[in-house]
Structure 1
Amino acid sequence: MDLNNVITFIAVATLLVISPGPNGFLIAKTVPLSGQKAGFANVGGFVAAFYVHGTLSIFGISLLLVQSAMAFTLFKLIGAAYLIWIGIKALINAFSKPSTALIESPQQAQHRGAIQSAFWEGFVTNVLNPKVSMFYLAAFPQFISLQGSAISAYTLVTAHAVVNFIWFSFMVLALSRVKSAANNERFKKWLNSITGLVFIGFGAKLAVLKSS
């Protein structure tokens, strides 16, 4: 594969990764409330979802999804419903009465169940996002020749995953510095309220997304 194509793809992927979206807000919600390990679990979910989308694009399944109006609508509505559900769950947590689960320390929150939950939350948020499939479907023809192999395609997916890992790892480490604020109930309510509204907004935006 042409090195210039890889570099150009990395530049495009970087712009996509650093632009505001559900991933950044999910990290911003997870780390202060559940700790650093849960934040990295979110990132692991993002990366795993990229390989799912990349595989579907390589084998043409995503193309069928985008070309079929009914399949695309169903897929995006499932993704939108999931984002809205995350938002509603955050709002419920914001206005529910404090419990022992809410006042536990970040170290106590970093148990296996919380980390697994964070991974799957990151994974599902991305795997149900048709925008990621559309990105790969648009990018692969631009950066891979007709004679390009699956290895070349997975090289681009890996480049995207590495950019994603680096960017959100920095975000996780930065947010880990506000652990003390996470023990403040007013901060928790504010954070859950903001992220809840943002995820509902992302879900609503995804619900009206049109295939191009």
Structure 2
Amino acid sequence: MNPVDLAAIVAVNVAGAASPGPDVVLLTRMATRSRKHALAAAVGIHVGVLMWTSLTVFGAAALLTAFPWLLELIQVLGGSWILYMGISSVRQGWRDRLDPPLDLEEAVQRLGSVRSAFTTGVATNLSNPKIVLFLAALVAPLLPTSPTVGTALIVIAALWLSSFVLFMAYCMLVSTERVRRKLFSAGPYIDMGAGAFFIVAGTLLIVRGLLGLVG
């Protein structure tokens, strides 16, 4: 694979990663409260990214095309998780509105452990199979017809690293103390807004999956 093709793949991947979605919304919610929680969530997200990109590059994503019920089942299960996360975020935001944290330290404590932020990142990314559809539609056509193992590993590393750097930079930018202090009072509304987004996204995934399974 020549450098121009690899650069094109990375550019398409970065554009897709930067578009609003459950991953970005989750990081925004975390980063406005705590840098370490946001970074942990970003690492968790990229555990999922590594799996999805590997499936795409090695051609396993074609299974979802050959057996669409697999994708539909993932949509139902993943949508259920995102819906649950949305309801939890709305409830947390409402509680914080009625009983606001006294300072940033208390707001961070209410996020839970850093480990839970990591696992939430993993689950959020794995619950949204649209990344496979994106990669299969826009990235896979740019790949060699029969890539060697070395080429496949280079592409996987480039896809993963480009997305990882982007998300880490976003977390660092949003989680600066100045930004967090300015958004401190808006924390409950950020939680409820993020929760509403997750509820809509999760419901749509469930509906699409169920329609596909029964259709």
Query: Would the TM-score normalized by the shorter structure come out above 0.5?
Result: yes
Q: Secondary structure at the match of 1:57?
A: helix
Output the amino acid matched with 1:75: I
Distance 1:138 1:71 in 2: 18
My pick for the range that moved more, 156-165 or 77-86, is 156-165
Counterpart CA distance in 1 for 2:3 and 2:11 is: 12
- Unaligned segments of structure 2, at least 5 residues: none
**How far does residue 188 in structure 1 lie from its aligned partner after superposition?**
2.4
Q: Deviations over 1:119-157 (max 9, x none)?
A: 111111112221112233335542222331233223222
Equivalent residues in 2 for 1:112-127 (5 A)?
Answer: 114-127=113-126
Contact 1:103 1:183 in 2 (8 A): no
TM-score (norm 1): 0.83
Shift of 1:209: 4.5
List alignment gaps of at least 5 residues for structure 1. none
Q: Secondary structure at the match of 1:148?
A: coil
Question: 1: CA distance between counterparts of 2:120 and 2:14?
Answer: 22
Alignment partners' CA distance in 1, 2:107 and 2:52: 34
The answer to whether structure 1 residue 63 and structure 2 residue 62 are counterparts is: yes
Specify the alignment match of 2:4 in structure 1: 4
Identify the range of structure 1 (150-159 vs 69-78) with the bigger mean alpha-carbon deviation: 150-159
Partner of 1:155: 154
Report the more deviating stretch, 149-158 or 80-89: 149-158
The aligned runs of 1:41-52 (5 Å cut-off) are 41-52=40-51
CA RMSD of aligned residues (A): 2.6
Helix, strand or coil at the partner of 2:55 = helix
Change (3 A) 1:106 1:161: farther
Could you tell me how far apart the structure 2 residues matched to 1:190 and 1:141 are?
Answer: 39
Q: Does 1:25 align with 2:22?
A: no
Q: How many residues align structurally?
A: 205
Partner of residue 15, structure 2: 15
Q: Distance in 1 between matches of 2:54 and 2:17?
A: 19
Identity of aligned residues (%): 22
Q: 1: distance between equivalents of 2:99 and 2:106?
A: 18
Q: List aligned pairs for 1:83-98, cutoff 5 A.
A: 83-96=82-95, 97-98=98-99
Residues 65 and 72, structure 1, Cα contact 8 Å, conserved in 2: yes
In 2: Cα distance, 1:188 partner to 1:11 partner: 33
TM-score normalised to structure 2 length: 0.82
Distance 1:60 1:4 in 2: 22
Instruction: Name the aligned partner's letter for residue 128 of structure 1.
Output: S
**Secondary structure of the residue that 2:147 maps to in structure 1?**
coil
